[in-house]
Amino acid sequence: MKIQLLPSTFDSDGRARSPEQRLSCYLVDDRVAIDAGSLGLAATDAQRETVRDIIISHTHIDHVASLPIFIDDLFATLDEPVRVHATEEIIELLERDIFNWRVYPRFADLSNDRTRVMEYVPFRVGEPFRVAHLSVTAVPVNHVVPTVGLVISNGRTTLAYGADTAETDLFWQLVNSAPRLDALIIECSFPNSMHELAQISKHLTPATVGTELKKLKHKSPDIFAVHLKPAYRDVLISELAALNRPRLQVMEPGREYEY
């Protein structure tokens, strides 16, 4: 399994220009996108040809910002729809707040001369579903809008994605019930000094990442901290290092991680 956090800033070759992350989009095997914050901006030409399935964890703008642009760019050339996998609740929010003709066209109603350009594929939390070559299970996490965390497997490798969340138990129950875990993506938005804002906005700090990771039963997956607010990046990196977890690292935008 190949996992890549798409960069938020990049040069003309698509390489990350800075390690800062402003938008969220994780590509699995260049085929499936988890969230689409930077997808329409940072995907390479090759990735634009192969990504046809997108799982949306929640509708915050850093996770969906360039989803409409991604579909718009492909409009004339698609031979199959771009499939957007989400809960019914999240699909309703996408239709109400983004693909509503005011913010952008309702692509789910539009076709080019070969195919519909966008199709919603609803899933239910707690029930496994297929996305391309992957098996996925979603559970609600603890954020200010409806949000799901995911466990994703290709049959050999398992990846867990916590999305945006404060302290949660359901997600760790799902992760711990997986037979194995190779990589875990966990958010860490605010430094410890901003604990109150993290609680109000339902995000994690290095301290709460530390207590959440105590719920993890799998022995030694790679753990990737993501969603570090750029303004606090340096202090976040040193507070994460102070947790002393050898396999915990900040995920590098643009880098391809292979499992």
List contacts with Zn ion (CB under 5 A). 60, 62, 164
| 117 vs 138 by CB, closer to Zn ion | 138
Helices (H), the chain: 39-42, 45-50, 61-64, 67-74, 88-97, 170-177, 195-200, 206-213, 233-241
| Dihedral pair phi/psi, residue 214, rounded to 5° | -65, -20
CB of 215 to Zn ion, least distance (A): 21
| 52 vs 63 by CB, closer to Zn ion | 63
> Minimal CA–CA distance to 82: which of 97, 98, 95, 67?
67
Q: What is the strand order of the sheet 118-122 is part of? A: 118-122, 82-86, 53-55, 32-34, 26-28, 2-5, 256-258
| 62 vs 167 by CB, closer to Zn ion | 62
CB of 76 to Zn ion, least distance (A): 31
8 Å CB contact between 250 and 213:
no
| 16 vs 228 by CB, closer to Zn ion | 228
CB of 24 to Zn ion, least distance (A): 6
| Dihedral pair phi/psi, residue 237, rounded to 5° | -65, -40
CB of 129 to Zn ion, least distance (A): 22
CB of 161 to Zn ion, least distance (A): 12
| 164 vs 239 by CB, closer to Zn ion | 164
For the chain, the farthest-separated pair of C-alpha atoms sits apart, in whole angstroms, at 56
116: Cα separation from own chain's centroid: 25
Vertex 247 angle, CA 241 and 250, to 5°: 55
In the numeric block, which tokens belong to residue 201?
């906005």
Which whole-number Å values give the CA distances from 196 to 155, 186, 226, 229, in the listed order?
Answer: 40, 19, 20, 15
| 48 vs 60 by CB, closer to Zn ion | 60
CB of 75 to Zn ion, least distance (A): 27
Report the alpha-carbon distance of residue 55 to residue 84 in Å, rounded: 6
| 117 vs 184 by CB, closer to Zn ion | 184
CB of 244 to Zn ion, least distance (A): 26
> Quick one: CA torsion of 46, 49, 50, 52, rounded to 10 degrees?
140
